[in-house]
Amino acid sequence: MDSLLNTGRPPVFCPGCSHERVVRALDKALSNMKITGDKAVIVSDIGCSGLFDTFFNTHAFHGLHGRALTYAAGIKMAQPALNVIVTMGDGGLGIGGAHLLAACRRNLNLTLLILNNFNFGMTGGQFSVTTPQEAQVGSAFLNRLEKPFDVCSVARSAGAPYVSRCSSYLDDLPYEIEQAIRFEGFSLIDIWGICPGRYTKRNKLTPQMIDDSIAGNEPFTGVITDNLRKEYGQHYREIASGLQKIAPPVGINTEYVPPEAGRREVIILGSAGQRIITSGDILCTAGLTAGLKVTQKNDYNITVLRGPSISEIILSPEDIGFSGTDKPSVIIALAHEGVEKRKYLFGNLDKNTLIIRVKGVDIPDTQATVLDIELKEQGFKNQDWALASLAVMAKLNKTVSFDMLDAAIKHVFKDKILESALNLINKAKVQKA
């Protein structure tokens, strides 16, 4: 098959740059495989390796330094049949380290060609993650302080199923590249080369020295048996095709009349583990069964298993504008942590606010009406206190009725949890407040 080289834009590398050999080898590999330009994309980033995409008549995507693997992932997921070839230098390898690790772990069918010439060519020969410590480079003495890494070992540790290392001067380079492209999964070739513009100005490096050096390192020749596994895209589609489709949300019909008119604000003050948010959800859903507009704002710590948990609910026959609560009809005080976080509320309340307080929870001085309830003593577990308190509200005909609560619970819960929640409400119904 014909070459895919872009004759209008021949390579513009420095004389003696080994990158040009890789350009020609890649072209040969694509030709040998009879891959046409429309079936391949070259994804590149910044640096001399970032010029690669311009030399080919293929699809091309040239982006930011070290991020080529990120674009490649999106392209491959969107176009699974496309041959996605990524070029990166040792510079991109360093700045894009997280993306390299992710690509190795993910095993999406991409081919990464690392044009490893041991320094940043374009910006003045500064040290990269592969620069030897003894090299003289553009970062003065700094490279002497940092140990270079072996990208092949790193890639293997990170789960890459195909890793090879070779010289840009290898006669069989087209074949090496072809093997990597043919591999069904993430493949990486660490291609060592010479940067005459920067690196070999102050350091001696010849093709023979590269060969010797590669021979003296642990060999990487392709398939890493331990890392062989399903290709990510294929695996993703396999799993996704077996998942159940989610239907758009369905509204709740109005069945009941709310026990009180007007806007009602309810604040549940509790602690993690008391199912405060879930109970807020149920109160909102109960509102929907009576055709009310509702909002629910929750407040809890990032550490989800301890600390305060607060739910602020508004139910109103009118559209709810401001979703903050300043005149609560009911405050349910279930735990010290929640009360502490909203202690500034209590001083401003008048008798129109009902505070339902579980025994043992201290609250600041207040003019509000306080109703003390015993939940533990009546056999309710801590995790059920919030829901039981909603039943107390229903019993008092405050904001919500038992019909609304029952209907809400049937909407929110299923199976066993539904059964136990209904039992809990029934238990609260018959006990004295």
Partner 1 sequence: MSLCLMEGNEAVAWGAVASGCRFFAGYPITPATTIFNTLLKIMPPAGGICMQGEDEIASIGYCLGASMAGLKAMTATSGPGISLYSEQISFAIGSEIPLVIVDVQRLGPSTGSATKGADGDVQFMRWGNSGGLPVIVLAPVDVADCFVLTMHAFNLAEKLRCPVFIASNKEIAMTKESLDFESLERPPVIDRARPGNKDYFPFTVRENSLVPEFLPIGGSRLVRQTSSTHGDEGYITTDFNIISRFQNRLKNKLESEVGSFAFHESFIEEEAKSIIITYGVTARAAKAVYSIRKKEGRPVSLLVLKTLWPVPEKLIRDKTEKANRVFVFEMNMGQYYGEIMRILPDKKVDLFGQMDGRLISPRQIMEAVGNG
What residues numbered 199-258 form the site for partner 1, per CB under 8 A?
A: 236, 239-241, 243-246, 248-254
Structural contact between residues 52 and 23, judged by C-beta atoms closer than 8 angstroms? yes
**Is 79 or 153 the residue whose CB approaches partner 1 more closely?**
79
Backbone φ, ψ for residue 75 (5° rounding):
-65, -45
Identified binder of partner 1 from the candidate list 107, 271, 285, 309, rule CB under 8 A:
285
With beta carbons less than 8 A apart as the criterion, state whether 325 and 312 touch.
yes
> Looking only at residues 42 through 101 of this chain, which bind partner 1 when binding is defined by CB under 8 A?
43, 53-54, 57-64, 67, 69-79, 81-82, 98-99, 101
Q: Of 326, 365, 377, 415, which lies in the binding site for partner 1, with binding defined by CB under 8 A?
A: 326
Among residues 90, 281, 384, 406, which is the contact residue for partner 1, using CB under 8 A?
A: 281
Cβ-contact 327, 348 below 8 angstroms: no
Of 75 and 194, the one with the shorter C-beta distance to partner 1 is: 75
Instruction: Please pick, from the candidates 144, 297, 410, 427, the single residue that binds partner 1 as defined by CB under 8 A.
Output: 297
In degrees and rounded to multiples of 5, residue 401 shows phi and psi of: -110, 165
Which range in 15-23, 35-43, 128-136, 193-201 contacts partner 1 by CB under 8 A? 35-43
- CB nearer to partner 1: pick between 11 and 291: 291
- Encoded amino acid at 159, one letter: G
For the bound state, the minimum distance from the C-beta of residue 213 to partner 1, rounded and expressed in Å, comes to 31
Scanning 285-293, 367-375, 378-386, 393-401 for contacts with partner 1 by CB under 8 A, the matching segment is 285-293
Annotate 166-204 with DSSP letters as a single string: EETT-TTHHHHHHHHHHSSS-EEEEEE---TTTHHHHS-
Cβ atoms within 10 Å of 254's Cβ, excluding its own? 11
Report the C-alpha gap between 388 and 213 in whole angstroms: 74
Structure tokens at 79: 């176009």
Smallest distance from partner 1 to CB 253, Å: 5
The CB density around residue 411, as the number of other CB atoms within 10 Å, is 17
Query: Hey, what are 372's tokens?
Result: 């003390």
Q: Which tokens hold the place of 4?
A: 């895919």
The residues, ordered by sequence, that sit 6+ positions from 91 with a Cβ below 8 Å of its Cβ are 46, 47, 65, 66, 120, 128
Please, what is the minimum distance in Å from the beta carbon of residue 136 to partner 1? 31
Minimum gap (Å) between residue 310 Cβ and partner 1: 11
Instruction: Give the separation between CA 338 and CA 344, rounded to whole angstroms.
Output: 12
Least distance to partner 1 from the beta carbon of 372, Å? 30
Q: How far is the CB of 335 from partner 1 (least distance, A)?
A: 18
Contact status: 294 vs partner 1 (CB under 8 A) = yes
Q: Does 399 bind partner 1 (CB under 8 A)?
A: no
Residue 223 corresponds to which tokens in the numbers above? Answer: 């398939």
Nearer to partner 1, 144 or 297 (CB): 297
Number of residues that bind partner 1 (CB under 8 A): 71
Cβ proximity to partner 1, 297 vs 336, nearer residue = 297
In DSSP terms, 300 is beta-bridged to 309
Tell me the window of 167-175, 282-290, 360-368, 385-393 that interacts with partner 1 (CB under 8 A): 282-290
Alpha-carbon gap, residue 370 to 374, rounded angstroms: 13
Decide whether 17 or 283 has the Cβ nearer to partner 1: 283
Nearer to partner 1, 200 or 298 (CB): 298
Q: Name the residue nearer to partner 1 (CB basis): 374 or 403.
A: 403
> Any contact of residue 9 with partner 1 (CB under 8 A)?
yes
291 is a contact residue toward partner 1 (CB under 8 A): yes
Query: What gap in Å lies between CA 200 and CA 354, rounded to an integer?
Result: 82
Q: Write the secondary structure of 263-299 as one string of H (helix), E (strand) and C (coil).
A: CEEEEEEEECCCCHHHHHHHHHHHHHHCCCEEEEEEE
Q: Which is nearer to partner 1, 223 or 418 (CB)?
A: 418
| CB closer to partner 1, 130 vs 295 | 295
